[in-house]
Structure 1
Amino acid sequence: MFGVTTPAVDAARERLTELGYEVLVFHATGSGGRALEGLVESGLVVGVLDLTTTELADDLVGGVLSAGPSRLTAAGRRGVPQVVAPGALDMVNFGPDIPERFEGRTIYVHNPTVTLMRTTPAEMAELGHRITAKLRQATGPTALFVPLRGVSALDADGMPFHDPKADQACFDAMPDAEQLDLHINDPAFGRAMADRLHALIGGAS
C-alpha cells in the first residue's frame, strides 16, 4: 500500500477477507517491502498481492524508499502464488529537496518533507522490463495486471503525473500482462487482482 494506491488495496483486501483470508498489508516505504519479502521467505503466507511496486522505481532512479534489488523476488523463488501490478511506478520519492541532476523533471511537493518526481518514459520502460523478468523467473503461478487509465492517484486525467506516453512505455514492456481499461484505484481493479490470486492459490494447493 501507498497513499496513492490506498483505494485499490482496500478493495483487494476487502475481497480477500470475504474469501476467507487473513490479510496483512505492507506499506511501500522501503522497510515495508523488505518486511514483505522476509515474511514470504519464512513460508508463512499462501499468496502475495503485490499491487504497489513503487519501491522498484526508487531502486532504479535513486529515490529514498528503495527496498533493494531483491524486491519482487521472494514469492517467485519460493513458488508462492502472486498477482502483481505496476502501482505507483509513476513516482520516485525524495525528501524536501531533489538532487540537482534531476533539474527540469516533473515534481510534486506532497508535503514539507516528501517530494515526488515523475518517472520518464525510459524509466517506465525499464521498470516494465524488470518486473517482467522477475515474474518470468518465478517458480510458482503468477499474474500481472495493468491499469490502462493510470497507476496512481496522481496519474489520473487532470492530475500532475498523468502521462499516458510514459505509462504505455511501461505497459509495452509487459507483454505477459492482462490489461484492464480501468484506473488502478477503481474498485474493480483491486477486486480483479484479489479474485485472480484466489484462483491461483486454489490451483497451487
Structure 2
Amino acid sequence: MRYTQLRRSAAAGWLILMLAAGAQAQDAQLARAEEIVQGKCFICHGVDGESSSPVFPRLAGQHGAYVARQLADYQAGKRKSSTMQAMVEDLNAEDFAALGRYFESRKPVAHAVDDSELAQVGRFVFMRGNPYSGVAACAGCHGPKGHGTPQLPRLAGQHAQYTENQLRLFNKRERSNDNAVMHAIASKLSELELKAVSAYISGLN
C-alpha cells in the first residue's frame, strides 16, 4: 500500500514538473514572439494584429499554423514579397510557430462594412457562389463565418482592400503559393463579385 502511494506521489510530482516546464516553454515562446513583433511586425500589422493600412492583412485571430506556413513560404521564396522576405530572413521555424501562436491569441476586432448593399451581393457569392458562371462558394472551404481552418486562412474581418488585392493576384497567378485552387475561383469572379465578396468578408466576425 505504501509503495503504491509512493508511486502515485512520484507520478503526481513528475506531472507537476512537466506542466511547469511546458508553461515555462510557452512563456519563453511568447516572449520571443513579442520581441519579434515589437522589432518588425508592428510597423505594418500592429502590435495586436490590427494592421495600419488596408494593404496589409489583419492578423488578429488568424490560425497559428497558417501564419507559420506563410512566413516559411516567404522565406523560401514560394510566396513573393521583397519586404516580407527581408523581414523573415533571419528567423527560424520556431520563430514562425511563436508568431503564429501570438497572432492567433490576439482578439479580432469587429469592423463595420463600408457599403452594406454591396456586401449583400457578396454574401450571396460567399455562401452560394455563382452557379451560372461556376464560381464556388467561399464558405465551402473557409466556413460559413469565414473562420477557416489551420490549413486555410481565417477571412472574417479582413480588410476589403487586402482581400480584393489577393484575389487579383490569384487571378493573375502573381500570388505564387496556394494558387492552384484559388486561381480557378478568382479567375471566374466578375469585377462586381470580387468587390462585393471582399466587402462582405470585411464585416464578418
Category of TM-score, reference length = shorter chain: under 0.3
TM-score by length of 1: 0.26
TM-score by length of 2: 0.26
Higher helix proportion (structure 1 or 2): 2
* Larger-gyration structure (1/2): 2
Higher strand proportion (structure 1 or 2): 1
User: Which structure has the higher relative contact order (CA within 8 Å, separation 6+)?
Assistant: 1
